[in-house]
A = this chain, B = another copy of it.
Amino acid sequence: MDFIKIDKDYLEVLTEWRRDFHRHPEPGWLEFRTSAIIADKLEAWGYDVFVGKEIIKGNSLGVPKQAQANVFYNKALESNIRAKWLEKMEAGKTGVIGVLDTGIEGPTIAYRVDIDALPILESSAEHHVPQKLGFRSENEGFMHACGHDSHATIGLGLAEQLMKRKDLLCGKIIIVFQPAEEGVRGGSAIVSSPLLDKIDYLFALHIGIDVPKGTFVAGVDGFLATSKFDVTIKGVAAHSGINAEKGKNALLASAQAALALHSLPPHSEGVARVNVGTLEAGSGRNIIPSLAKMQFEVRGETTEINDFYENRVHQIFDGIGAMYDVGVELEKVGYSINTPSDHELARILTETAKLNPSIHEVIEYNDFKAGSEDATFLMKHVQQQGGLATYSIIGTNLAAGHHHEEFDIDEEDMLFAIENWLNVPFSLYRGVDRP
């Protein structure tokens, strides 16, 4: 069977979807509108569709405050969104899973994309394409600055293209539109959905990440395991001039905690990182600070290394609470693990992608020690049940780096990513004994 190329005109469809998502970015756990639009299309094409509360069975980390949730919920309400989807969602319960069960014996193949945006104010510079072409974010202060608008679009395009070829398929196709990847919050919450059990092959993907246009990386390793924490330290205020001894100083507590966190030892078994990213404490110059808040993270080359630091974090804050006689609320607001891609599946995907004439270079496997990614939960889950998983990168031309206010992609590359994935089932049917 030949490599299936999608008609070039289809890029117009993809572009329209992507720009719509781009104009309406929603932060993690609040992807009400995004989820509803995806669900609508999947349903229309014939997928079994599961939304929000139907798929988020685990503990939702880092759910935004109710006030912000209300803003996006109300925006969604005001959009032309069907109530049936909204009723299935709430803050911390978003995202969509589409299932196409052919009824014919065969493998279960899953694709996973993410759909959330970032709290970044998008550039309004005239040279910034979304501004120039009129699809700049309409939710001021939020932006698809990491390409998840294109990921959602790739998932949709793949879904439609697969459905068009339903008669050629066997087994089961699952397309996962995971919420809240930013801050690695959604992966651990969606993985416990029974819909995601017994997957034979799992494909996840990112656009960009310094991979040049025309290049496709079939498998990667090296996402650092990480835990994200918010901590609130509650002391007691007092007037610094009048009765300082009555206060319990949350600012000093947080200062010592920050130093303790940053002076944690390195780890002999691999890369480790600790960062206290933000600290806010106190209310006035002459008041003993009664409140402090910190946002911080730890990372490890392996899940075990990350666990080591997570354990130390708990010890530090147990200690800080006692030391300063303050209340400490330590909340884990994000979490991801390290899961290497399977070399075997990377090899299969490599061979498929090499057939794509739009891809000039295919890298089979890359050790990519940089950020973190919570698709690793689903990858690990699949592997533990005997399946194979790989995480790929589709190259593109970036207008600016990820998380930059002028981030933008080359939309054409969405099409090539879909093509690579679309051909996977047929590669698998041919080449593998597993199913």
CA distance A421 to B372 in the complex (A): 49
Which of chain A's residues 331-345 have a Cβ closer than 8 Å to chain B?
none
Q: A315 near B319 (CB under 8 angstroms)?
A: no
Which of chain A's residues 308-324 have a Cβ closer than 8 Å to chain B?
308, 312, 315-316, 318-324
Chain B residues near A284 (CB-CB < 8 A):
277-278, 295
Interface size on A, residues (CB 8 A): 66
A124 at the interface (CB under 8 A from B): no
Q: B251 near A258 (CB under 8 angstroms)?
A: yes
Q: A325 near B320 (CB under 8 angstroms)?
A: no
Contact with B along A274-295 (1 / 0, CB 8 A): 1111111111111111001001
Q: How far is the CB of A422 from chain B (nearest CB, A)?
A: 33
Q: B372 near A241 (CB under 8 angstroms)?
A: yes
Q: B308 near A318 (CB under 8 angstroms)?
A: no
Chain B residues near A272 (CB-CB < 8 A):
266
Q: A268 near B243 (CB under 8 angstroms)?
A: yes
- Judged by DSSP, the binding face of A is mixed
A267 at the interface (CB under 8 A from B): yes
Q: A242 near B278 (CB under 8 angstroms)?
A: no
Instruction: Answer whether A276 and B297 are a contact pair too, CB < 8 Å, given A241-B372, A323-B323.
Output: no
Q: How far is the CB of A208 from chain B (nearest CB, A)?
A: 15
Copies in the complex: 4
Chain B residues near A289 (CB-CB < 8 A):
276-279
Chain B residues near A251 (CB-CB < 8 A):
258, 276, 278-279
Q: A275 near B288 (CB under 8 angstroms)?
A: yes
CA distance A262 to B251 in the complex (A): 11
CA distance A369 to B236 in the complex (A): 22
A386 at the interface (CB under 8 A from B): no
Residue from A241, A278, A297 whose CB has the most chain B CB atoms within 10 Å: A241
A64 at the interface (CB under 8 A from B): no
A141 at the interface (CB under 8 A from B): no
CA distance A371 to B197 in the complex (A): 47
Q: A242 near B263 (CB under 8 angstroms)?
A: no
Residue of chain B at shortest CB distance from A244? B265
A245 at the interface (CB under 8 A from B): yes
CA distance A268 to B239 in the complex (A): 10
A252 at the interface (CB under 8 A from B): yes
Which listed residue, B256, B266, B282, B315, touches A277 by the CB 8 Å rule? B282
Instruction: Answer whether A286 and B280 are a contact pair too, CB < 8 Å, given A265-B247, A322-B319, A324-B315.
Output: no
CA distance A265 to B324 in the complex (A): 11
Provide a sorted-by-A list of 8 A–B residue pairs whose CB atoms are within 8 angstroms: A241-B370, A255-B258, A259-B259, A262-B263, A275-B287, A277-B289, A315-B322, A315-B325
Q: Which 6 A-B pairs have the closest CB atoms?
A: A319-B323, A240-B275, A319-B322, A262-B263, A278-B282, A255-B255
